[in-house]
Chains A and B, each alone.
Chain A
Amino acid sequence: MKQVPHEIHLCEDCAQQYLNQDEPSPASEPEEGMMVKLQLDAGDKELAELDKNVCPNCGISFREFRSQGRFGCPHDYVVFGDELEALLENIHDERQHCGKVPKRAPSDSQRQYQLIKLRSELRKAVAEESYEEAARLRDEIQAMETALSQGTGDAD
């Protein structure tokens, strides 16, 4: 629906106030935790089920997580794994980390992430019909897979 423009006459101060209130206010955005809450609305029947799903580590139920928008411990990500997938995809559009990896994590895992990235680049190259690039990526992936399966991954 098209809005009809209307004219108003204001002094400088009132104009300023008018502009400020009319401006999209970042303050009216729901807080991060609230967003999680809203995205997780479900029926009463499901709630009883969600109450049963409890982390053995910290004791938080999925329902409690839902109402607070905060986890109780890192293990919750494993315990609530299935329920979380849709939520994470909703927030981030992705379900696989591909950034920094702590040095203490196994060195192989870094290569796993590289493989994930290379495979998605390969899909993209094929879709864009960049066949030279696709062939190069396929070779790189194969080389890396061979190295991983032979356990010659990292000397350190």
Chain B
Amino acid sequence: MELDDLTHTSGEWLRGTGPEADIVISSRIRLARNLAQFPFLSRSDEATRAEIEGLLHQHVSDLRLPQPLTYLDVQKMEELDRRFLVERQLISRELCESSGARGVGISSGENVSLMVNEEDHLRIQVLRSGLALEDCWEEIDRIDDSLEDKVTYAFSEQLGYLTACPTNVGTGIRVSVMLHLPALVMTKEIQKVYQALQKIHLAVRGLYGEGSQAMGDFYQISNQVTLGKSELEIIGEVKDVIPQIIGYERKYREALVKEKRRDLHDQVSRAYGILRTAQTISSEETMHLLSSVRMGINLGLIDDLEIPTVNELFIHTQPAHLQKLRNSALESGERNVARACYLRERLASSNDVP
């Protein structure tokens, strides 16, 4: 698999299937691990970084996974390609923006990614479409076990897996579920959800994790505590609140349909209309309108467009993806024109009824 092969495809986790997939976009688990015999990265010089990268590169490449894995050298990569992988959720902004020896192993279906020399020596991530945290855990636990056969992780009996930042120590686990909550945003009920989750120590973040905005009404719910609870307890705590949030979102969607059906239908149709006809459009407006259209499909207000197409458009209309698709560097203004053009093409072809 070459990086450019990814340009026209999309990850399996975007296929819009799995339990509760109308509201739950994806489930994700990541583990933070460090090699016992090396300092953490803030205290590693170039030679040490390269040594860690070489060692983990080897072990990651040797992994036997259900899908073939490709290892990419992030240090040698162009900035556009690095940003492309961030938009794709395959690497973090930290891995994209830092310097020195680093890399990432990616499975062909884009469900598994193993980042080398991020904040920790190794960050393992497993993604699934819909609400599927148990599946994520099963797979990531297996990958972690097979690496553990080969390397000695920094681990203490009292504090568990030792990580560069004390907020990850213990299990090193981050369990996240990405939700699409347009009705809760529209009715401003999202604030209550946000406050309730904070009280039980769950974090709410935007599409691209820590510090990012909640674009397109996407919210990521994840655990903050990593020490003193088992992995399954932590997964359980995140999993337990999801049905309640889904229930709220459904309740407010139904109320909107019942009380303001015409307004809602109008809003959704206009959003669809703009996306199909605009000549220039920003990334923010695209996200906002796609969010309306996505909800419209789920409520049966739009019937000639599929959810996986919309999921894919959220990713493919972002700056690095557009430039990869056009095969050239584009200024912001040029991108807006290219984005509108791409949207018109994609939405016209999806309407070609045979």
A151 CB-CB contact with B under 8 Å: no
Give chain B nearest CB distance to A76 CB in angstroms: 8
Which of B162, B227, B228 is in CB contact (< 8 Å) with A74?
B162
Cβ–Cβ contact A33 & B228, under 8 A: no
Cβ–Cβ contact B229 & A94, under 8 A: yes
Give the complex CA separation of A44 and B173 in angstroms.
35
Cβ–Cβ contact B159 & A24, under 8 A: no
Cβ–Cβ contact B231 & A32, under 8 A: no
Cβ–Cβ contact A70 & B213, under 8 A: no
Give chain B nearest CB distance to A45 CB in angstroms: 24
Give chain A nearest CB distance to B41 CB in angstroms: 8
Give the complex CA separation of A59 and B39 in angstroms.
10
A131 CB-CB contact with B under 8 Å: no
| Contact residues of B between 128 and 174, Cβ < 8 Å to A | 141, 144-145, 148-149, 152-167, 169-171, 173
Give the complex CA separation of A74 and B154 in angstroms.
6
3 closest A-B pairs by CB? A94-B228, A97-B160, A74-B154
| Contact residues of B between 235 and 281, Cβ < 8 Å to A | 267
Which of A16, A70, A109 is in CB contact (< 8 Å) with B164?
A70
B36 CB-CB contact with A under 8 Å: yes
| Contact residues of B between 95 and 147, Cβ < 8 Å to A | 119, 141, 144-145
Please report the total number of B residues contacting A with Cβ < 8 Å.
Answer: 62
Cβ–Cβ contact A92 & B165, under 8 A: no
Give the complex CA separation of A112 and B93 in angstroms.
39
Q: Which B residues touch A23, using CB under 8 A?
A: 185, 188, 190-191, 214
Q: Which A residues touch B38, using CB under 8 A?
A: 73
| Contact residues of A between 91 and 109, Cβ < 8 Å to B | 91-105, 109
Give the complex CA separation of A12 and B148 in angstroms.
55
| Contact residues of A between 30 and 66, Cβ < 8 Å to B | 31-33, 35-36, 57-60
Cβ–Cβ contact B119 & A70, under 8 A: yes
B8 CB-CB contact with A under 8 Å: no
23 A-B Cβ contacts within 8 A?
A19-B186, A23-B188, A23-B214, A24-B204, A69-B166, A70-B40, A71-B162, A73-B40, A74-B34, A74-B40, A88-B166, A91-B224, A91-B225, A93-B201, A93-B228, A95-B158, A95-B227, A96-B227, A97-B157, A99-B231, A100-B171, A103-B145, A104-B152
Q: Which B residues touch A99, using CB under 8 A?
A: 160, 170-171, 173, 229-231, 234
Cβ–Cβ contact B225 & A100, under 8 A: no
Which of B152, B171, B194, B288 is in CB contact (< 8 Å) with A97?
B171
Q: Which B residues touch A71, using CB under 8 A?
A: 40, 42, 162-166
Cβ–Cβ contact B155 & A102, under 8 A: yes
Q: Which A residues touch B171, using CB under 8 A?
A: 97, 99-100
Beyond contacts A29-B205, A88-B227: 4 other A-B pairs, Cβ-Cβ < 8 A, are A26-B219, A36-B165, A98-B228, A99-B229
Residue in A closest to B173 when the chains form the complex, CB atoms: A99
Most buried by B among A12, A36, A87, A98: A98
Q: Which B residues touch A16, using CB under 8 A?
A: 288
A146 CB-CB contact with B under 8 Å: no
Give the complex CA separation of A96 and B145 in angstroms.
22
Give the complex CA separation of A19 and B212 in angstroms.
17
Give the complex CA separation of A98 and B332 in angstroms.
49
